[in-house]
Amino acid sequence: MFRKHLFFLLLVLCTGLANAQLDKLRLAYQYTQPDKNNLDSARILVDAASKHSETMNDPQTWYVRGYIYRELFKRQSLADKKPSFLEESYRSCKRSIELDTAAEMKENNLKILRSVSASANNTFAEEMDTVHYRVSLECLELQKKLVKYLRPSANIDSLQAYYFGFMGSYFQGVYEKNPKKNTAFLSLAEDAYNKVLIAEPSNVSANYNMGIIYYNQAVSLIMNKLDYDFDLSTLNEIQDEALVWFKKSLPYMEKAYQLNPRRKETLIGLSGIYYSLHDNDKSQQFKKLSEDLDADKK
């Protein structure tokens, strides 16, 4: 139905358009069909029409362009995804709506935009790996524009928190699989969680995950000292460095506890942090809270 509507639309383009430009748009559409399947040629033709004085201010030109760029993106392989095609589709449909004062094509443009939004969302997840994650970031930036345009009342901060939370969790997992080899991904996880907390300071997961990242750094340092015959001064240096990480972890763990006081992992973490900071009273307090939580479950 969508393709039939587009073909009909091209046949009834306003009579003020010069025949040569109308033919270019018709040919551009024809190149999107399975029997032709030449989207590169379709793009060249519709780009030319979008710059020509006789067609550049016609909403139908931009509608066709939005459709073609959406198809260009859909027909790429996963390894070659270019979010710039989605960006051009968004810009074109938005331009078509702006030029369409009678709003005759608004709903059709919105259908394309909703499809573009779905593609940006799916591609964000599909491209989230250690090589292509920058594509995911491009999709996120586009998705923020699309959501703001399609749903002006939507909470963009919550949207950003969701996506960066996903990214932080992924990179944290990559790092934890091989901390020595994947050190670079630790900073990517930190950066993602920081962006979550900028958008949503009371995000429970981001606070806990930031806390656990630093907590694990401290524990890792302490565990390493058991593997080597260090002298006393070296051991003191390691302990001092571990304390720095425990202190960095503490405010995030405390915040996570305030937001969710019944998460056992947070209670255990706080007990360990305060023990390392030589605050035995608080360490025992959180240890007891953890034990009480276990007792409540029996």
pLDDT band of 62, cuts 50, 70, 90: very high
Is 1-153's fold the same as 216-298's?
yes
Portion of the chain with pLDDT greater than 90, in percent? 65
Query: Per the confidence metrics, is the pTM higher than 0.75?
Result: yes
Q: Let me know: does 80 contact 123? Beta carbons within 8 Å.
A: no
**CATH match of 1-153 with 2.40.128:** no
The pLDDT of residue 12: 43
pLDDT at 25: 77
Domain borders along the chain are 1-153, 160-201, 216-298
Question: Distances in Å between the alpha carbon of 49 and those of 36, 52, 89, 283?
Answer: 20, 5, 15, 71
Do residues 175 and 185 lie in contact, with contact meaning Cβ atoms separated by under 8 Å? Answer: yes
State the average pLDDT over residues 13-29.
Answer: 63
| Rg value, the chain, Cα | 28
Q: Which of the pair, 155 or 29, is modelled with greater confidence?
A: 155
Number of CB atoms found within 10 A of residue 210's CB: 27
State how far the Cα of 247 lies from the Cα of 229, in Å rounded to an integer.
Answer: 26
Q: For 216-298, which CATH class?
A: mainly alpha
Per-residue confidence at 230, pLDDT binned at 50, 70, 90? low
Query: Which of the 8 DSSP states describes residue 227?
Result: G
Q: Which of the given ranges, 6-10, 43-47, 94-98, has the highest pLDDT on average?
A: 94-98
